[in-house]
C-alpha cells in the first residue's frame, strides 16, 4: 500500500512540474574578432632532421646507441642477489651511465621467467631492479638518476620452454631516459 501511494505521489510531481517555458539567454556580446586574433597568434615549430636525434655530447652518440652498449644483468632461478660474474656487467653499466650516458637518467627494468604467479614475478622483478640500483649507487651513480620498473614475466626475450631460454628472461635491463 505504501509503495502505491509513494509511486502515485512521484508520478503526480513529475506531471505537474514539467519543463520551464523560458528560453535560455545567450550572451552575444563577446567579441568574435578577439577569439580569432588569439588563434592567429599560435605558431608552429618544426624540428629539423639534424635535431631529431638526442645527442649526449660524447662523439655525437645518440641515446639509442648508448643504450645498445648497456649490458643486461642476469639472475639465478628465484634469486635477486647479484652474482660475482655479473659484477663486471654492473661496472660496465656504471661507466657508460657516468660517461657517455651522463646526460640521461637510467631506468632499470626487472624481468622474470614464466615460473611463479604474476604477483610473485612482479615483486621479484622489482627486487632484482632494486639490487642493481643499490650496486649502481655503490659504484657512483646518483640515486636521483635511477628509476625502477618491474615487468614480471610479461617482457620475455625468449619464449622457448628450455632452461637456457628461461635463464635469459631472468634479468634487469638498462634503459636511458631523457
Give pLDDT tens digits for 155-165: 889 888 899 98
What's the order of all strands across the beta sheet hosting 171-177?
73-74, 171-177, 105-111, 146-152
What digits encode the pLDDT tens for the residues 29-53?
555 555 444 444 545 455 444 444 4
Give, as one character, the DSSP assignment of residue 55.
B
Lowest mean pLDDT across 10-14, 89-93, 126-130, 136-140: 10-14
> What does the pLDDT average to over 109-115?
92
- The confidence score (pLDDT) of residue 12 equals 72
Domain ranges across the chain: 83-177
| DSSP result, 71-87 | PPEE--TT--SPPGGGH
Placement of cell 620475455 in the chain:
156
Q: How far does the chain reach from its first CA to its final CA, in angstroms?
A: 70
Structural fold of domain 83-177: 60s Ribosomal Protein L30; Chain: A; (3.30.1330)
> What does the pLDDT average to over 88-92?
89
Distance CA 68, CA 62 (A): 10
pTM of the model: 0.62
- With vertex at residue 108, the alpha carbon angle to CA 103 and CA 114, rounded to the nearest 5 degrees, is 155
Grid cell, residue 145, equals: 638518476
Amino acid at each position: 500500500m505504501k509503495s502505491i501511494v509513494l509511486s502515485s505521489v512521484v508520478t503526480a510531481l513529475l506531471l505537474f512540474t514539467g519543463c520551464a517555458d523560458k528560453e535560455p539567454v545567450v550572451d552575444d556580446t563577446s567579441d568574435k574578432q578577439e577569439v580569432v586574433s588569439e588563434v592567429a597568434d599560435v605558431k608552429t615549430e618544426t624540428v629539423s632532421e639534424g635535431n631529431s636525434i638526442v645527442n649526449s655530447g660524447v662523439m655525437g652518440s645518440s641515446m639509442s646507441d648508448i643504450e645498445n652498449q648497456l649490458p643486461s644483468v642476469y639472475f639465478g632461478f628465484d634469486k635477486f642477489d647479484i652474482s660475482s660474474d655479473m659484477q663486471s656487467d654492473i661496472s660496465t653499466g656504471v661507466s657508460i651511465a657516468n660517461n657517455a650516458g651522463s646526460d640521461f637518467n637510467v631506468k632499470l627494468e626487472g624481468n622474470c621467467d614464466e615460473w611463479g604467479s604474476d604477483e610473485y614475478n612482479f615483486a621479484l622483478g622489482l627486487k632484482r631492479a632494486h639490487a642493481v640500483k643499490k650496486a649502481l649507487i655503490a659504484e657512483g651513480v646518483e640515486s636521483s638518476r635511477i628509476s625502477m620498473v618491474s615487468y614480471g614475466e610479461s617482457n620475455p626475450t625468449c619464449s622457448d620452454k628450455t632452461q637456457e631460454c628461461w635463464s635469459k628472461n631472468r634479468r634487469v635491463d638498462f634503459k636511458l631516459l631523457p
